[in-house]
């Protein structure tokens, strides 16, 4: 399934006792359609407050339903801040997490003097100006395969800190800065830590060489502040064409969100 959600009122993706999570809501809804309990696995777990435009999930079922029935049935049983966009059958060789070849995220920053009631849960607000050109220069060092130890959470459980960043682009429109990044995989808090470092550089608090220096020291304690979660979006995951997933988030998926504001 392709799933979209507003993470504002969730304590993240993963099921946790006593709190509201995307996984628990989705499993309850899909289980109703399947008429048996299901466990849902996702492409990339998101933290509290983080959104998704096309999270990819899979589950095993003995039920026979049409793709349309899975979508409509799940959506009838889901709350307004979660929705299933599509459903597609796959064979036993597919896994939402382990079959993914790459993942893509966006981080939105509203840089203007006054806060925005509309954007309060959609972008992180900074009241000072950010030098976008400095941020772009600093971002170049992060593209490619590197040890991202300085950009991972202290509690990150990944076995290796090596990741390959495929692209890291920064654009701006009417004060709304979008950081777009894709990689073969991400460490815990990696995108938010990158955003925090680049914002510090954009404010002139650090040199444009700081990103390169952090890659070299491989020490999270020197890596700066983790940016807030509400500006982060899981955009999509890429899979081999053989699975035939009907994904729609291909080119500039946040453009329609920008145009609607």
Active site residues: 47
Query: Do 84 and 3 meet the contact criterion of CB atoms below 8 Å apart?
Result: yes
The reply, when asked if residue 105 is annotated as ligand binding, is yes
Helix axes 190-202, 132-139, angle to 10 degrees: 130
92 burial (CB, 10 Å; 0-12 / 13-18 / 19+) is: exposed
* Gap between the Cα atoms of 250 and 238, Å rounded: 10
- Measured distance CA(21)–CA(69) in Å, rounded: 24
Handedness of CA 141, 160, 197, 114 (dihedral sign): positive
Q: Which residues define the annotated binding site?
A: 105
Binding residues for substrate: 105
């Amino acid at each position: 399934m392709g799933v979209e959600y507003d993470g504002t009122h969730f304590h993240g993706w993963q099921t946790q006792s006593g709190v509201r999570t995307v996984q628990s809501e989705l499993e309850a809804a899909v289980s109703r359609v399947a008429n048996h309990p299901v466990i849902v696995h996702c492409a990339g777990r998101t933290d509290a407050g983080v959104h998704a435009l096309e999270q990819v999930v899979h589950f095993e079922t003995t039920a026979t339903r049409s793709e349309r029935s899975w979508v409509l049935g799940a959506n009838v049983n889901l709350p307004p801040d979660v929705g299933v966009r599509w459903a597609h059958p796959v064979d036993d060789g597919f896994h939402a997490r382990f079959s993914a070849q790459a993942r893509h995220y966006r981080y939105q920053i509203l840089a203007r003097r006054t806060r925005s009631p509309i954007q309060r849960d959609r972008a992180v607000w900074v009241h000072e100006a950010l030098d976008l050109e400095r941020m772009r220069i600093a971002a170049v060092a992060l593209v490619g395969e590197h040890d991202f130890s300085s950009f991972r959470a202290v509690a990150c459980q990944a076995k290796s800190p090596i990741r390959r960043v495929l692209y890291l682009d920064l654009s701006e429109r009417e004060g709304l800065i979008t950081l777009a990044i894709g990689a073969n995989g991400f460490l815990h808090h990696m995108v938010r830590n990158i955003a925090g470092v680049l914002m510090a550089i954009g404010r002139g608090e650090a040199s444009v060489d700081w990103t390169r220096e952090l890659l070299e020291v491989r020490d999270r304690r020197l890596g700066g502040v983790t940016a807030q979660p509400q500006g982060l979006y899981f955009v999509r995951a890429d899979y081999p064409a053989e699975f035939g997933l009907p994904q729609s988030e291909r080119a500039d998926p946040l453009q329609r969100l920008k145009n609607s504001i």
